[in-house]
Structure 1
């Protein structure tokens, strides 16, 4: 079984970084079924490198073979740019997809959903009406069935995004907001600021987490696998795996 720390370069890098910033802390490689998703994660010493890896993957700059684009694009779907729909995946009538995007086997982009900008939708995900995903990796079995937004983020296996959930990815400490963004977003662990190397970074949500309806996640929120989140207007910071976040 290919693990997230199988390469020598990763072993060396992991000796110098906090384990809580590694993909292995959030995602169980033994349960990831898609080879593209697994190889993508295996190349990233920390979760903060996943967005760039997605961009490189979809630009053809990584030696990871992509699936054949033989999935279904229904009449009435709006598809622009490089969009790879793997066998068994569906972009339904009324969906909007703007590449570069990879839709893995078994995933369904439903009517009224929007997926765009360097996103990998993992196997068996369901993106429903009013849900928008941008610059993300959904590792598999993610449910976003209602109006919501997830951007610049990484979601683990079986994550469920409730209605009107939103990630936020910009550091806003002074105005006005500029585009492209210029201020680096930092995560926080044990009172320390951890540089992400990015000006937009939303959240890392580990396997099995349910994000309650109406929740807004602050920039660089890190939620360990199987954390229980209680309904709350805003959450941010770091939640250890298996904890109960209040």
Structure 2
């Protein structure tokens, strides 16, 4: 039986930190779905993962003598899927730049520039590959459109029954069962709007597509959602949000601006938290790189906050253009925060930062999950313990 395995390219995995500290590359959300969910739908399979060993308990690999290995940062489309399905055994599919897009091989295959006895095929069509953290929001609008077309094909949207909600271009608005919308304005003239199962759009919300909101998530009263924004499941989001991706189980429930940013899971932004996404001189934004340990030029004039899982910001926190916050950080205090706050840090740029004791951080993570009716599993605790140890040398205070 042919198995599908989504592999972490080691270079891309490092470039996608801090999000890949706690998940494989293919578990990143871009568009409506996470990458592995897209492949599951396209291939009608249940993909497994080839990732860092400490993640294996939560994200195992299920291999056989015949496997399709697919780059975990690769987003599927019709031509790409056909090319991968056509691969013969012991063949690698390469981009024109030599990137490994996919391979069909036995269980012991590892991504490498040395192909040994493997045959190679070059793919010449355009494709979407998430290589850097800023790609997550930069490619999000196009992925919302692609996911929307596939997910809604042949399905009937629930109707908008609220008389005080106004919809522009309603054919591009899809509402799953159980969703509730009250006195909102939904504009899908420039891109589709997808409202997930049991989502709640509260009074006065203003939405511009492309936009997606996941299962049981809430848009708070008066929320202003600008284009190219995705909100995962079980989130609460308010204030002004523009071109952002929020993975899931995270809150930005109050007023404040979030733009060109990515939040992981189990994050919380306190009331009146704001970020800058444009430098005053309009030059390219530079972002902390885990690959080099220094600032990397994103090539973008708009880039905001990258925040890893389980991290929180106190009220009125200010994040500068191109800020990276690691995993399980409690950041607060006056002034703009540092361009990079390492994982398991406690404090702020002005007041000073210290190490967030692991026992305390784990207790807060458990309590955060319990508040959503979820028990943090042993495998999640072990992942956090591993990340704590991996990032110890970053915490130099």
Report if TM-score (shorter chain) is over 0.5.
yes
- The alignment partner of 1:234 has SS state of coil
Partner of 1:78: 185
What's the CA shift for 1:218? 0.6
What's the CA shift for 1:37? 2.8
What's the CA shift for 1:203? 0.7
TM-score (norm 1): 0.79
CA spacing shift, 1:85–1:120, aligned 2, 3 Å: same
What's the CA shift for 1:230? 3.2
The one of 332, 340, 353 aligned to 1:230: 332
Partner of 2:284: 184
Gaps in structure 2 of 5+ consecutive residues? 39-71, 75-129, 153-173, 348-352, 354-397
- The alignment partner of 2:212 has SS state of strand
What's the CA shift for 1:141? 1.4
1:138 aligns with 2:138: no
Which structure 2 residues correspond to residues 139-154 of structure 1 after superposition, within 5 A?
Answer: 139-154=247-262
The whole-number CA distance in structure 2 between the counterparts of 1:83 and 1:73 is 14
Partner of 1:178: none
Which structure 2 residues correspond to residues 11-90 of structure 1 after superposition, within 5 A?
Answer: 11=9, 14-15=10-11, 19=14, 21-22=16-17, 24-25=19-20, 27-28=22-23, 36-39=33-36, 42-43=73-74, 44-60=130-146, 65-66=150-151, 69-71=175-177, 72-81=179-188, 82-90=192-200
Relative to total residues, which structure has the larger helix share, 1 or 2?
2
Gaps in structure 1 of 5+ consecutive residues? 175-180
Contact 1:26 1:156 in 2 (8 A): no
- The alignment partner of 2:34 has SS state of helix
- The alignment partner of 2:203 has SS state of coil
Partner of 2:214: 104
User: What whole-Å deviation, never above 9, does each CA across 1:1-22 have from its counterpart, x for those lacking one?
Assistant: xxxx934xx51xx33x682643
Contact 1:23 1:45 in 2 (8 A): no
1:163 aligns with 2:271: yes
Which has the larger displacement, 21-30 or 213-222? 21-30
- The alignment partner of 1:59 has SS state of helix
User: How many aligned positions are there?
Assistant: 225
The whole-number CA distance in structure 2 between the counterparts of 1:36 and 1:21 is 17
- The alignment partner of 1:6 has SS state of strand
The whole-number CA distance in structure 2 between the counterparts of 1:63 and 1:83 is 8
Partner of 1:177: none
The whole-number CA distance in structure 2 between the counterparts of 1:148 and 1:231 is 16
CA spacing shift, 1:33–1:22, aligned 2, 3 Å: closer
User: What whole-Å deviation, never above 9, does each CA across 1:83-132 have from its counterpart, x for those lacking one?
Assistant: 1101221212221111110111111112211112100011011123xx11
CA spacing shift, 1:38–1:85, aligned 2, 3 Å: same
What's the CA shift for 1:184? 1.2
